Amino acid sequence: MDEPTTLPVAATEDPTLVLLKVEEAARRLRIGRTTCFALIRTGALESVMVGGLRRVPADAVPEYVTRLRTAQRAA
Protein backbone atom coordinates (compact mmCIF):
# COMPACT_ATOMS: atom_id res chain seq x y z
CA MET A 1 0.00 0.00 0.00
CA ASP A 2 1.38 3.41 -0.96
CA GLU A 3 2.10 5.97 1.73
CA PRO A 4 0.07 9.18 1.38
CA THR A 5 2.09 11.98 -0.13
CA THR A 6 2.28 15.27 1.68
CA LEU A 7 3.29 18.44 0.00
CA PRO A 8 5.77 20.68 1.81
CA VAL A 9 4.36 23.87 3.27
CA ALA A 10 5.33 26.75 1.01
CA ALA A 11 7.37 29.47 2.65
CA THR A 12 4.46 31.86 2.14
CA GLU A 13 2.16 29.53 4.07
CA ASP A 14 4.54 29.04 7.03
CA PRO A 15 2.27 29.00 10.10
CA THR A 16 5.11 30.31 12.31
CA LEU A 17 5.28 33.69 10.53
CA VAL A 18 4.30 36.62 12.73
CA LEU A 19 3.99 39.22 9.96
CA LEU A 20 2.76 38.55 6.45
CA LYS A 21 3.31 40.42 3.22
CA VAL A 22 0.05 41.83 1.88
CA GLU A 23 0.19 39.25 -0.92
CA GLU A 24 0.53 36.43 1.64
CA ALA A 25 -2.43 37.72 3.65
CA ALA A 26 -4.45 37.98 0.44
CA ARG A 27 -3.52 34.40 -0.47
CA ARG A 28 -4.65 33.16 2.96
CA LEU A 29 -7.96 35.00 2.52
CA ARG A 30 -8.25 33.77 -1.09
CA ILE A 31 -8.74 37.33 -2.32
CA GLY A 32 -6.79 39.53 -4.69
CA ARG A 33 -3.94 41.82 -3.70
CA THR A 34 -5.94 44.94 -4.61
CA THR A 35 -8.90 43.83 -2.49
CA CYS A 36 -6.54 43.14 0.41
CA PHE A 37 -5.05 46.64 0.14
CA ALA A 38 -8.61 48.05 0.09
CA LEU A 39 -9.41 46.19 3.33
CA ILE A 40 -6.24 47.61 4.87
CA ARG A 41 -7.06 51.13 3.66
CA THR A 42 -10.52 51.01 5.27
CA GLY A 43 -9.15 49.56 8.51
CA ALA A 44 -11.08 46.31 8.13
CA LEU A 45 -7.80 44.36 8.06
CA GLU A 46 -5.08 45.43 10.49
CA SER A 47 -1.63 46.21 9.16
CA VAL A 48 1.59 47.76 10.41
CA MET A 49 4.53 49.51 8.81
CA VAL A 50 7.97 48.01 9.36
CA GLY A 51 10.36 50.55 7.95
CA GLY A 52 8.83 51.27 4.56
CA LEU A 53 7.14 47.88 4.29
CA ARG A 54 3.44 47.20 4.87
CA ARG A 55 2.86 43.98 6.82
CA VAL A 56 -0.26 42.23 8.12
CA PRO A 57 0.00 40.55 11.54
CA ALA A 58 -0.71 36.84 11.02
CA ASP A 59 -3.38 36.87 13.73
CA ALA A 60 -5.19 39.76 11.98
CA VAL A 61 -6.31 37.41 9.21
CA PRO A 62 -8.40 35.04 11.38
CA GLU A 63 -9.64 38.03 13.42
CA TYR A 64 -10.96 39.63 10.22
CA VAL A 65 -12.71 36.39 9.25
CA THR A 66 -14.24 36.11 12.73
CA ARG A 67 -15.61 39.67 12.47
CA LEU A 68 -17.07 38.87 9.04
CA ARG A 69 -18.76 35.75 10.34
CA THR A 70 -20.15 37.55 13.40
CA ALA A 71 -21.52 40.37 11.26
CA GLN A 72 -23.16 37.96 8.83
CA ARG A 73 -24.75 35.95 11.62
CA ALA A 74 -26.18 39.13 13.13
CA ALA A 75 -27.67 40.25 9.83
Q: Is residue 60 part of a domain?
A: yes
Q: What does the alpha-carbon distance between residue 42 and residue 3 come to, in Å, rounded to a whole number?
A: 47
Which domain range does residue 70 map to? 16-74
Residue 11 pLDDT exceeds 80: no
Q: Is residue 8 part of a domain?
A: no
> Which DSSP letter does residue 12 get?
G
Q: Is residue 10 part of a domain?
A: no
User: What average pLDDT does this structure show over 36-40?
Assistant: 98
* Per-residue model confidence (pLDDT) at position 47: 98
Q: What does the alpha-carbon distance between residue 33 and residue 40 come to, in Å, rounded to a whole number?
A: 11
Closest CA to 25 of 67, 38, 70, 73: 38
Q: Is residue 35 part of a domain?
A: yes
Residue 3 pLDDT exceeds 90: no
Confidence of residue 66 (pLDDT cuts 50, 70, 90): very high
Overall number of domains in the chain: 1
Q: Which runs of consecutive H residues, i.e. helices, occur in the chain? A: 22-29, 33-42, 60-74
